[in-house]
Amino acid sequence: MIVDVTKVEVLEPYRLRLEFDDGTSGEVDIAEHVRFRGVFAPLQDPESFRQVRVDPELGTIVWPTGADIDPFVLHEWAQGRNPEQPALEPDRTAGMMIVSVTRVEVLKPYRLRLEFDDGTAGEVDISELVQFDGVFEPLRDLEVFRQVRLDEEFGTIVWPNGADLDPFVLHEWAQGRRI
User: What DSSP string runs through 50-80?
Assistant: TT-EEETTTTEEE-TTS-B--HHHHHHHHTT
Examine residue 83 and state whether it is found in any structural domain, yes or no. no
Q: Residue 23: give its domain's CATH number.
A: 3.30.2020.10
Sheet holding 25-29, edge to edge: 5-12, 15-20, 25-29
Q: Band of the pLDDT at 94, cuts 50, 70, 90?
A: very low
**Number of structural domains the chain divides into:** 2
Examine residue 87 and state whether it is found in any structural domain, yes or no. no
The DSSP string of 111-163 is EEEEEETTS-EEEEEHHHH--S-GGGGGGGSHHHHTT-EEETTTTEEE-TTS-
Tell if the pTM clears 0.85, that is, is over it. Answer: no
Examine residue 69 and state whether it is found in any structural domain, yes or no. yes
List the domain range (segments joined by +) for residue 112: 101-174
- Note the pLDDT of residue 29: 93
Q: Band of the pLDDT at 68, cuts 50, 70, 90?
A: confident
- Note the pLDDT of residue 83: 66
What's the CA gap between 25 and 4, in Å, rounded? 11
pLDDT digits (tens, 9 = 90+) for 30-39: 988 887 877 7
